[in-house]
Amino acid sequence: MKKIFGFLSIFIMGFSVQSYAVSDADIDRLTTYAIVLGRAAACGVEVEAESKRVGGWMDRRFSKSDQQVYLPIFFEGARIAALDQSNGTSPESCSDAIKVFNRFTWP
């Protein structure tokens, strides 16, 4: 579980000032990133590089005030996805979650 939360702290690092208005599509993408990263982390996948890419994308797409709202939601979503995966209540096996992670197009 420590590894799961480690990627969340890496995700926060490196936020910049430039941003744009957040859209429903951006929120949907952020939710998907949280689920894929959380499940993969729970399966033992190293997710640091992908987490940094999501962090950079969020920097570009979310204002500082939007980040204050959506970062906690992202973290909670990733945490729940990881817990579900660890508890066996995720709809995917680890094998499937890893396949999704490896085939996923990261920002």
Q: pTM of this prediction?
A: 0.80
pLDDT tens by residue, 55-81: 999 999 999 999 999 999 999 999 999
C-beta separation of 99 from 58 below 8 A: no
The count of other CB atoms within 10 Å of the CB of residue 65 is: 10
CA distances to 2, 21, 55 from 25, rounded to whole Å, are 31, 11, 16
pLDDT tens by residue, 14-57: 444 444 568 899 999 999 999 999 999 999 999 999 999 999 99
Secondary structure (DSSP) of 2-27: HHHHHHHHHHHTT--S------HHHH
pLDDT at 22: 80
Tokens coding 59: 């920097």
How far apart are the C-alpha atoms of 31 and 89, rounded to whole Å?
Answer: 18
Structural domain of 25? 2-13+21-103
Tokens coding 106: 């990261």
The count of domains in the chain is 1
Q: Which of 107, 93, 105 is nearest to 40 (CA)?
A: 93
